[in-house]
Amino acid sequence: MKAENQAYKLDRENGIIDLPIRAGLHIQLGLIVSDYHRRYLDDKSLSLGSLTLLPDRVVVAIRKRPPKAYAPESIVSLDTNERSLDGVLVNEDRIEAVVRAEFPDVSVIQSVHHDRRMKLQKKKSHDRRTAKRLCAREGMREHHRIDYRMHEVANAVLSFAEEKKSMIVLENLTGIKPRMGKCMNRRISAWPRRKLHQIIEYKAAWRGIPVVKVDPRYSSRKCPVCGRIQDSRKGTEFVCGCGWHVDRHINASINLLQTAASKKAAGGLRFDPGAFQHDVVTILCGRNAVRSEPNGTSRIKAMT
Ligand SMILES: [Zn+2]
C-alpha cells in the first residue's frame, strides 16, 4: 500500500504512524526506531514524503530542500582523467594551487574484475546460466568498490571547494565518444567519469557548492596564453611555441576555467596565465594503497 504525505500522520517523536482506513477508523503502527532513524526523524529541515507499506517494513520517503549555493570567492577547475582529477585553484586572477585528486586503484579494480569475468566465462562455458549469475555477482562487487572510491574522491574535492568558498568547474562529458582502439574504448567508457561528475554534482547541491559545466572542446589541445590549437595531444607536458609549457592535464583545466570565465563575461574572473607559477601539487585525495586481491591475478602483481 502506498499513501501520499497528506494521507497519513507520523508522530516523529514516538515513531507512530497513523493511517485512516475509512471514516472513524484508524490503524496505528509503532515503528522500531534506531539511532539511525532518529537522526532523520529529529531533523526538522526534512519533510515527509510518501509512505509505502510492505509486509515486513514501512518505507517513509523524506525530502530535503537543498540550500542556496554560496557566492564563490574562488574557482576550482578540474580536468577529468582516467586516474585522477587534475586542476587549479584560482583566486582573483592568480593560480593559488595546483590540485589533484587521485584514484589510480579504480582502473586496477576494473581490470581485476574484468579478468575474473573472462575467467568465469571460460570456466563455466558449459553452464551459461551459472556463468551469467557469477558474472553478475562480480559486476556488483566491482560496482560497489568503485562507487565507494568515487564517493571518497567527490567528498575530498567538495570539502576543499567548501573550505576555499570555491565554485567548481567540470567538463561537460555528454556526447563525448573517444575514438580509439577496441581495447582502449573499453577502458575509457568503462571508467564511469560521468558517474563521478553526477556524484560531485548532487553532493555539491546538497552542500550549497556551485558547480558549472563547460564544453571541453579543444581543452586538451589549446594554449591558454596565445590561443593556438595543436594537432597532437600526446605526451605528459603541453608545450607551445609561445613559450608556455605545463602539465597537459593542468593545461586542460586552465582551458576549462577560461571557458567558464568567458561565459559570464561581466564580473567573471579574468585569469592571466602569465601569473602562473609552478606550484607544488596539493593532493586532495591520495593514492590509496591498492588492497591485495584475494584471488589476485598476475596483472595485479605487475601493477603494484
Ligand atoms: Zn601558446
Asked if 139 contacts 117 with a C-beta cutoff of 8 angstroms, the reply is yes
Q: Which of 267, 255, 268 is nearest to 220 (CA)?
A: 255
**Nine-digit cell string for 288:** 590509496
The whole-angstrom separation of Cα 280 and Cα 297 is 36
Distance 42 CA to ligand 1 centre (A): 57
Return the residue matching grid coordinates 571518497. Answer: 152
pLDDT at 298: 34
Q: For all residues of the chain together, what is the average pLDDT?
A: 83
**Nine-digit cell string for 41:** 526523524
Distance 292 CA to ligand 1 centre (A): 44
The one-letter amino acid code at 240 reads: C
Per-residue confidence band for 188, with pLDDT thresholds at 50, 70 and 90: low
**pLDDT at 195 > cutoff 80:** yes
Query: What percent of the chain is predicted at pLDDT more than 70?
Result: 82
Q: What is the mean pLDDT of residues 284-291?
A: 62
Distance 94 CA to ligand 1 centre (A): 19
More confident residue, 264 or 93: 93
Q: What is the mean pLDDT of residues 19-27?
A: 90
Distance 128 CA to ligand 1 centre (A): 56
Distance 103 CA to ligand 1 centre (A): 30
Per-residue confidence band for 274, with pLDDT thresholds at 50, 70 and 90: low
Asked if 185 contacts 178 with a C-beta cutoff of 8 angstroms, the reply is yes
Distance 226 CA to ligand 1 centre (A): 4
Distance 255 CA to ligand 1 centre (A): 12
Per-residue confidence band for 276, with pLDDT thresholds at 50, 70 and 90: low
Q: What is the mean pLDDT of residues 78-106?
A: 88
How much of the chain is in helix, strand and coil states, percent to nearest 5? 35, 25, 35
The whole-angstrom separation of Cα 54 and Cα 211 is 39
Distance 156 CA to ligand 1 centre (A): 32
Per-residue confidence band for 95, with pLDDT thresholds at 50, 70 and 90: confident
* 99 SS3 class: strand
Residues 31-65 as b/e (b if ≥16 CB within 10 A, e otherwise) read beeeeeeeeebeeeeeebeebeeeeeeeebeeeee
Distance 93 CA to ligand 1 centre (A): 19
Per-residue confidence band for 270, with pLDDT thresholds at 50, 70 and 90: low
Return the residue matching grid coordinates 573517444. Answer: 178
Q: State which residues have CB under 5 angstroms from ligand 1, the bound ion.
A: 223, 225-226, 228, 240, 242, 244
**pLDDT at 163 > cutoff 90:** yes
Distance 228 CA to ligand 1 centre (A): 6
pLDDT at 34: 93
